Amino acid sequence: MNNSPITTSIFDLFKVGPGPSSSHTIGPMKAAYDFLERLRHLPEATGESADSIHVHLYGSLSATGKGHGTDRAIVAGLLGWQPESTDPVALMAMLKEPAVTYPVVVGNRTFDLGAEHIHFERKKYESPFANTVVFKLVANGNGLYEEEYYSIGGGFILRKGEEAVDQSAIQLPYKYQTMKELKTRLADHQLTLEQLMLANETAVTGRSTKEINLRIDHLLDFMHKAVRRGLRHTGTLPGSIKLRRKAPVLFQQARGLAQSSDSFLIFLNSYCLAASEENAAGGIVVTAPTSGASGVIPGLTYLAKHHFHYSKETLRAGMWAAAAVGFLVKHNASISGAEMGCMGEIGTASAMGAAFLTQCAGHSIEAIEAAAEIGIEHHLGMTCDPIGGYVQIPCIERNAMGAVKAYNAFLLATAGTPANQKISLDAVIKVMKATGRDMSTKYKETSEAGLALSATEC
């Protein structure tokens, strides 16, 4: 277990960037950008004889990187692009022509980077994390300078040698690592969850409450823009599966059935599918906590805003409850499909969504904990086996299923006395970590088993 207190910012958990995968698209893009910056600060003599840059992808980045657009993200990062300002159409157009190269400018040198410089390695590589990428500056086939990065889920990256980041410099007003500690701080200081989280966020980022609130509103705007685009866009998603978008169909169906008891669920399904289909098409989404799971919370928050008419303030409080759950899972297990299978992505998103709904409805921290616990408990062991390495099947429908489960977790948790829930959130996160560790790598975002083998791409 990581023994330092939680210092993740809400804006690192919820990040704006291009789909389809936070660990395979946003993380590698950030790593490539970081490598570019490091190259630019090297002593000139180091790179004088260099003739090329090579990138080696290992583990799940190699196994499903093609379908996830990892090669495009790497090129974009080495061109100096950042996830939040990426033009998704230009990104999707990259590497379409195998012969085309892209100019990577380092000082007065320009390196031509093309598909031939990005290597999807099949051999086993000793690494502490499933998603590893190694960048090399090369002269006549010999490495002059290299950096190794790990994409650890949700777009978070670590550079080799920086695995244990020293957090001691951050003076947190309310330290916690577990839900038990978080509840103790709330009780001791008589704070709401939102007040505590805001105080810690200010300590971590230096931002004022006003600025933080504005940025949360913007995150919700980005999420809801993805939902609205997905409700409009029709046709077939990119890739060899030729999967047709379904969100607009469901949306029209729900509108036609407005008086039916099914309509509420169909509306929710359409919102979740809309954001997920945008993600699969490489559109701009918000990691929640990952890109693969970027339909659950946008769908639920869209529902909360447009059907329940919750105020801005209520939605923000709900986002803090969701963030608290995401922080706890990230800190004590992992939110990466390559580490945990889909329980780490959709399971976490569903638990965060359940916490969001419970907070918005004004329930206690015990009810929020119970809802999140139920959300994770009923995703334990869920495999990650995307067909063809595309974030489409089962991912898109799975977002809708995760949101529906989140809603039911909220209903179950808020009936009776939530404090009587037998399993704690901390306990289920421990189980999640152990289950992820025991799960065969075939079921952790490698597309080597399960559903990925059961269907023919056509």
The residue among 332 and 383 lying less far from ligand SF4, judged by its C-beta, is 383
CB of 80 to ligand SF4, least distance (A): 28
Residues 336/130, Cβ–Cβ less than 8 Å: yes
Q: Is 69 helix (H, G, I), strand (E, B) or coil?
A: coil
What does the DSSP assignment read for 176-209?
-SSHHHHHHHHHHHT--HHHHHHHHHHHHH---H
291's tokens? 């890109």
Tell me the sheet residues that pair with 52: 138
Alpha-carbon gap, residue 212 to 288, rounded angstroms: 17
- With respect to ligand SF4, which residue has the nearer C-beta, 118 or 346? 346
Q: How far is the CB of 398 from ligand SF4 (least distance, A)?
A: 6
**What is the smallest separation between the CB atom of 69 and ligand SF4, expressed in angstroms?**
13
Q: Which helix (DSSP H) or strand (DSSP E) does residue 11 occupy?
A: helix 10-13
Which is nearer to ligand SF4, 224 or 398 (by Cβ)? 398
| Residue 61 CB, nearest approach to ligand SF4 (Å) | 13
* Minimum distance of ligand SF4 from residue 324's CB (angstroms): 22
Nearer to ligand SF4, 272 or 395 (CB): 395
The residue type at 369: E
Q: Is 61 helix (H, G, I), strand (E, B) or coil?
A: helix
- The span from the CA of 374 to the CA of 174, in Å, is 26
Task: Between 75 and 391, name the residue whose CB sits nearer to ligand SF4.
Answer: 391
The nearest distance, CB 43 to ligand SF4, in angstroms, is 41
- Nearest approach, Cβ of 277 to ligand SF4 (angstroms)? 13
Interstrand relation of 52-59 and 284-286 (parallel, antiparallel or unpaired) = unpaired
Question: How is residue 163 written in tokens?
Answer: 């695995």
Q: What is the rounded CA–CA span in Å between residue 382 and residue 148?
A: 30
Q: How far is the CB of 375 from ligand SF4 (least distance, A)?
A: 15
Cα maximum dimension of the chain: 72
**Closest CB to ligand SF4 among residues 118, 391:** 391
Chain-centroid distance of CA 426 in Å reads 21
CB of 316 to ligand SF4, least distance (A): 26
Residue among 361 and 384 whose Cβ is closer to ligand SF4: 384
- Of residues 12 and 445, the one with the C-beta less far from ligand SF4: 445
Distance CA 214, CA 313 (A): 11
Residue 142 or 454: which CB sits closer to ligand SF4?
Answer: 454
Give the residues lining the site for ligand SF4 (CB under 6 A): 292-293, 337, 342, 345-346, 384, 386, 391, 394-395, 398, 445
Residues 6 or more apart whose Cβ sits within 8 Å of residue 409? 350, 351, 354, 371, 372, 374, 375, 378
Write the secondary structure of 88-123 as one string of H (helix), E (strand) and C (coil): HHHHHHCCCCCCCCEEEEECCEEEEECHHHEEECCC
- Please, which residue, 60 or 414, has the CB nearer to ligand SF4? 60
Q: How far is the CB of 395 from ligand SF4 (least distance, A)?
A: 3
Separation of alpha carbons 113 and 50, rounded Å: 13
Comparison of 209 and 240: residue with beta carbon closer to ligand SF4:
240
Q: What is the DSSP letter of 238?
A: S
Element (H, E) at 72: helix 70-78
Closest approach, Cβ 112 to ligand SF4, in A, equals: 32
Cα distance from N-terminal residue to C-terminal residue, the chain? 44
